[in-house]
Chains A and B, each alone.
Chain A
Amino acid sequence: METILELHNLTKHFVQKGTFGSIVSTTEVPEVTVSPVGKKIVRPAVTRKESLVHAVDGVTFSVREGENLGLVGESGCGKTTLCRCIVRLIEPTGGRIIFRGQDILKLRSREMREMRRKMQYVFQNPSNALTPRMKIRTILEEPIRNFNLVHGKTELLSRLDELIGLVGLSREVLDKGPHELSQGMKQRVCLARALATNPELCVLDEPTSALDVSVGAKIIDLLEQLQKELGTTYILVAHDLSVVRQVCPRVAVMYLGRIVEAGPIDDLFSKAAHPYTQALISAVSIPDPEIRREEIRLKGEPPSPVNLPRGCRLSPRCSHSMERCRVEEPELVELEGDHYVACHLFLK
């Protein structure tokens, strides 16, 4: 299988300016001015404290064609930021993104625009992703027109029909506004819009978390079916591992901006190596009262991505934490065929 996307050491740091309360004066000399009336004004040299939010901090992975990758982790671990970096909706701070052998971070905006035809994005909340003043028809037409994908009106109309049918909606939906649709229908429209350009890669940011279970199940079903028909590769973000299980043969687990474990889904579920993955899996409730699992618990809450702990990022919460974990950050190493883990327990 050909590699479609490679990330090398991708990093995104945000600069957080301090708020009013966190103003700190520097050691420089206070500024002294004389007002027009001759009064001396002393103003201390003030700077606002700046801090770095390590949203994505050195992520390396590759996605093979047709092999969907699931990206899981708690909220605030940088999943969405990573996804937005992949399609360059935000500029990464460092690293490389190779899409089909081409470093897309080197592309100029016009070339990048052309590239976006091949990589599409579906946002988390379908209600915010559709322009409220546009008819669904206009919403779906936009990408088709933008990239001149059809010639003539009849071709456009038949393409719209095809798209709306693809996601299992009826043709009447085209002349409705987003407010007339249910959440599930809106998410289908978002999917249709993403697929309008026949993308090779589609990044789906929590496509089901804003939906009811029964509606979410149908969307997941649709995703599977669409892949069979169109052969698009997905990167599926979720905080719920059970959603990923259905569509993705490979999963990467993210914690505080880093990939801590990645591998084939069955390996990950049956022999999760990283303590964080184990905790994450054990926290997922099984809809069966006969199965009660022992829960692996982590201490406390995730630390803030501003003040990262020294060494392994999980070390303050991990029950296996050793001396070495608090000093040295573990690298992602191959455990066995295609199963990678970043943990000192496995580094010899």
Chain B
Amino acid sequence: MHSGEEAGHLLNVDALSVSFPLFEGTLHVLDDVSFTINRNEIFGLVGESGSGKTVCALAVMKLLDPPGRVVGGNAWFGDKDLLRLSEREMRNIRGSKISMIFQDPKSCLNPFMKVGRQMSRVFRTHSAMRDSEAGEKAVEMLSKMGIADPKNIQNYYPHQLSGGMAQRVMIAIMMSCDPDLLVADEPTTGLDVTTQSEIMRLMRQTCTERGTSIWLVTHDLAVVAQNCDRVGVMHAGHIVEIADVHSIFRRPLHPYTRGLISAVPRIDKKIRSAGIPGQVPSFLNPPAGCRFAPRCTIARDQCLSDKPTYVQVEPGHFVMCHELK
């Protein structure tokens, strides 16, 4: 039914559901998650920790560890459904077409191998390159990533790098095969504000140059506001609101989005940040109706019993809330 190529879609995730069968019962972590990522765009997926953002990214990458299982849905990438591919086919896509960077860059690098060597290994895996060529490319990539002394840094082990530098190395590796999509899972969390803005700038710049789309998974709305084109807001495994970045900040409609936005402390004006009552509900027995209802200040009886459906309030702006019916 779907083909990803229509209307410039690069990735089309359709009704993705993921569950974790455990001894205590099944955790329904993702429930009917649908969204698209267009070419040359930065899509942000935001939510609190435990809302299922990372699981969503891992499921699409087919990197979900057992007991996590995809129980339904498709992820169209071009004319291929990623969720139906064999591991061998997926391996060809990972790295060359879609690549992923993680929150803690140091845990993704091999601690026993110098960074230059780790980088050239990746280059050689994906293209026929001689060792010396790959080494040169590693130095070139490092200097493109704004590392001052690449010749020296390539001989460092990961533990000798600062967090920001390690993340630069990761970006260099992940961008080396000119992927169509870069999945970035909390790439700047745990970094200083100054390093954070540098890393985001670097990612944006390299991706625009090469026409790569970014799927940014983060909890930081400020980062989203400054970098993304479109935003999906996730709460307890549902995308509750999805829109372009301007309308979501100008006119947040879902109570959860409003709560999230008002919770962010601001530097440019002094406002009282409000926060959201309660916590992300348990995935073991999620609320029957709207999963946000127990925390929602405007919840009605209907919210507790019926699951809301998407309402399109303006073109491209979808909200999952009974209030808007």
Contact = CB atoms under 8 A, between A and B. Distances in A.
A291 B219 contact: no
Across chains A and B, which 4 residue pairs bring their CB atoms closest together, nearest first? A285-B222, A217-B273, A218-B275, A217-B275
B225 A286 contact: yes
Contacts of B165: 301
B266 A287 contact: yes
Contacts of B274: 217, 221
A26 B268 CA distance: 56
A295 B221 contact: no
Interface in B243-302: 245-246, 249-250, 259-268, 270, 272-276, 279
B8 to A, nearest CB: 21
Interface residues of B, number: 43
A300 B64 CA distance: 37
Given A182-B279, A286-B266, A213 B249 contact: no
Interface in A51-106: 74-75
B107 interface: no
A109 to B, nearest CB: 36
Contacts of B219: 212-213
Given A220-B265, A290-B250, 20 more contacts: A74-B195, A212-B48, A213-B219, A214-B260, A216-B263, A217-B263, A217-B265, A217-B273, A218-B275, A242-B264, A242-B265, A245-B270, A246-B270, A281-B267, A285-B222, A286-B266, A287-B264, A289-B249, A297-B198, A301-B165
Contacts of A289: 225-226, 245-246, 249
B226 A213 contact: no
Given A182-B279, A292-B226, A214 B221 contact: no
B275 A245 contact: no
A240 B276 CA distance: 21
A213 B265 CA distance: 8
B192 interface: yes
Contacts of B275: 214-215, 217-218, 221
A213 B246 CA distance: 21
A74 B249 contact: no
Interface of B: 48-49, 148, 162, 164-165, 192-198, 201, 219-226, 245-246, 249-250, 259-268, 270, 272-276, 279
Contacts of A216: 263, 265
A241 B224 CA distance: 18
Contacts of A74: 192-195
A240 B265 contact: yes
Nearest to A246: B265
Contacts, number: 115
Nearest to A183: B49
A336 interface: no
B-side interface mostly: helix
Interface in A273-290: 279-281, 283-290
B222 to A, nearest CB: 4
Contacts of A279: 194
Contact of A241 (B49, B193, B201): B193
A287 B225 contact: yes
Given A213-B260, A214-B48, A220-B273, A301 B226 contact: no
Nearest to B267: A242
Contacts of A283: 193-194, 196-197
A339 interface: no
27 contacts: A74-B195, A213-B221, A213-B263, A213-B264, A216-B263, A217-B264, A217-B274, A240-B193, A241-B267, A242-B222, A242-B267, A245-B266, A269-B267, A269-B268, A279-B194, A283-B197, A284-B222, A285-B222, A286-B225, A286-B226, A286-B268, A287-B225, A287-B264, A289-B225, A290-B246, A290-B249, A301-B162
Interface in A239-296: 239-243, 245-246, 269, 279-281, 283-292, 295
A297 B202 CA distance: 13
Contacts of B259: 214
A4 interface: no
A298 interface: yes
Contacts of B249: 287-290
A215 B273 CA distance: 10
Nearest to B161: A301
A125 to B, nearest CB: 12
Nearest to B224: A287
B162 A280 contact: no
Contacts of A301: 162, 164-165, 195
